[in-house]
């Protein structure tokens, strides 16, 4: 599996008073997408550990192009190089 997409809808509690997603929530989306990727690819994080591996996000760079807003549908893409 070289590419994985998780579709989510922005929830109200992830937004500020202007209905824009808080900046820190994008890191939560990365964690959610990577966890679901592992579930789809290997059966979950515990299976990764059982095979003697671990994963860590050691660098996270976010470049915003446009704000996500309440009730938007986002495609979170994970790819492995």
Domain count, the chain: 1
DSSP secondary-structure letter at 59?
A: -
Between 1 and 11, name the one with better pLDDT.
11
| Catalytic choice (16, 28, 31, 71) | 16
SS3 at position 20: strand
Q: Are 23 and 68 in contact (CB under 8 A)?
A: no
Q: What is the CATH number of the domain that holds 25?
A: 3.10.129.10
Q: What is the pLDDT of residues 7-40, one digit of tens each?
A: 999 999 999 999 999 999 999 999 999 999 999 9
- Containing domain of residue 11, as a range? 3-79
pLDDT confidence of residue 1: 59
User: What average pLDDT score do residues 71-79 get?
Assistant: 95
| Residue 16 annotated among the catalytic residues of the structure | yes
Mean pLDDT estimate for the chain: 92
User: What average pLDDT score do residues 35-59 get?
Assistant: 89
Q: What are phi and psi of 11, to 5 degrees?
A: -95, 155
CB atoms within 10 A of CB 14: 20
């Amino acid at each position: 599996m070289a590419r994985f997409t998780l579709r989510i809808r922005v929830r109200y509690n992830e937004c500020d008073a202007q209905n824009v997603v808080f900046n820190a929530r994008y890191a939560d989306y990365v964690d959610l997408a990577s966890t679901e990727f592992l579930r789809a690819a290997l059966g979950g994080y515990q299976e990764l550990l059982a095979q003697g591996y671990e994963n860590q996000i050691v660098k996270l760079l976010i470049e915003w192009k446009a704000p996500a807003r309440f009730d938007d549908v986002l495609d979170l893409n994970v790819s492995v190089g």
